[in-house]
Structure 1
């Protein structure tokens, strides 16, 4: 290998380099990039931790909401049971009230005809006769034609007492918003 040398040109030293003014050094550039990467990594780790906590909180809330739905179903079932109990009590009271009104109407009808109400009233707890008040005009006219004296004949028919109506039923109606209504059906 041939070397050309000029005595006027200064020799170049390879170990020491001069920096150009206005241009950053490579070590400084690598340090800035490393610091930036470290900052982005710290932000990503922090975001991942908060996201993980948020997902766990969301799962916990969903589990509580599922429990709340089951609790609502249990409460609804208990309320329906209570409603049915009240309805059956009201129906029983209604039947008893209708029976009492029927007895009162029968007593009033007997009093209007001049019969003592206490003498003809059945004993409490004893069943009422099924044929009471079911005498028709045809039966009375047959008794009259049978030779009974019209002056002595007292009409044998009585005013018909309306029996209590059928036991009312209730239809349960649940609306989409969860409200429950009961409609009376005859």
Structure 2
């Protein structure tokens, strides 16, 4: 610091202050201090909010991982059920084809037996026609009203009983189509 000495000037005791500079400097320091406190509070609030959001994101990621594992288990079960259903449909289709083949064979046997029976009846009727008078001859295509044909079936087919429809959840409506198919529609 430089000291200037003037011997002719009166000595001044105390401090020299300027009033205009002190009031603006103090206000400026107060404004800067308050703004620093406000910025600190905003930064603390933002950091707390970011920490909470990060915690929630970690929780959601963990749940998504669990959901992915759950989805994988469901897909595996659906694949298992789908495979089982496809196998069951395949077995039913094979069984149906086998039974249809048996029915076709039985019908062919029935036709052969019927043809043989017609030929035997035709031969027997021809020999009877030559012995009987003309007015008592009955054509083979129309049997007499009081006579019944003496054809005995080896094993008459049993009528198939329709089972009662299985009870269905009341959330579904049962619809029978004209071709005999049954469908179910979900009731809203």
TM superposition score category, shorter chain reference: 0.5 to 0.7
CA gap of 1:118–1:81, structure 2 versus 1, over 3 A, is: farther
User: Paired residue for 1:98?
Assistant: 97
Q: Which residue of 1 aligns with 2:85?
A: 86
Q: 2:7 aligns with which of 4, 7, 19?
A: 4
**Residue 111 of structure 1 aligns with which residue?**
110
Deviation string 1:119-174 (CA, Å, 9 cap, x unpaired) is 7xxxxxxxxxxxxxxxxxxxxxxxxxxxxxxxxxxxxxxxxxxxxxxxxxxxxxxx
Give distance in 2, aligned partners of 1:101 and 1:74: 40
Distance 2:12 2:111 in 1: 146
* CA 117–46 in structure 1, closer or farther in 2 if over 3 Å, else same: farther
Q: How big is the alpha-carbon RMSD for the aligned residues of Structure 1 and Structure 2?
A: 2.6
> Which fold has the larger relative contact order, with Cα–Cα distance below 8 Å and residues 6 or more apart in sequence?
1
1:55-75 alpha-carbon deviations (Å, 9 max, x no partner): 111111111111111111100
Task: Please list every run of 5 or more consecutive structure 2 residues that lacks an aligned counterpart in the other structure.
Answer: 115-151, 156-188
CA distance in 1, matches of 2:6, 2:31: 42
- Structure 1 runs of 4+ aligned residues shifted over 6 Å read none
**Structure with greater helix percent:** 2
Correspondences of 1:12-51 after superposition (within 5 Å): 12-15=12-15, 17-20=17-20, 24-51=23-50
* Structure 1 spans left out of the alignment, 5+ residues: 120-186
Three-state SS of the structure 2 residue aligned to 1:42 is: helix
The residue aligned with 2:61 is 62
Measure, in 2, the Cα distance between the counterparts of 1:41 and 1:94.
Answer: 77
Equivalent pairs counted in the alignment come to 115
1:171-186 aligned at under 5 Å gives the runs none
> How far apart are the structure 1 equivalents of 2:102 and 2:153?
10
The whole-number CA distance in structure 2 between the counterparts of 1:74 and 1:4 is 102
Q: Who is 1:76 aligned against?
A: 75
Q: Which has the larger radius of gyration?
A: 2
Superposition TM-score, scaled by structure 2 size: 0.53
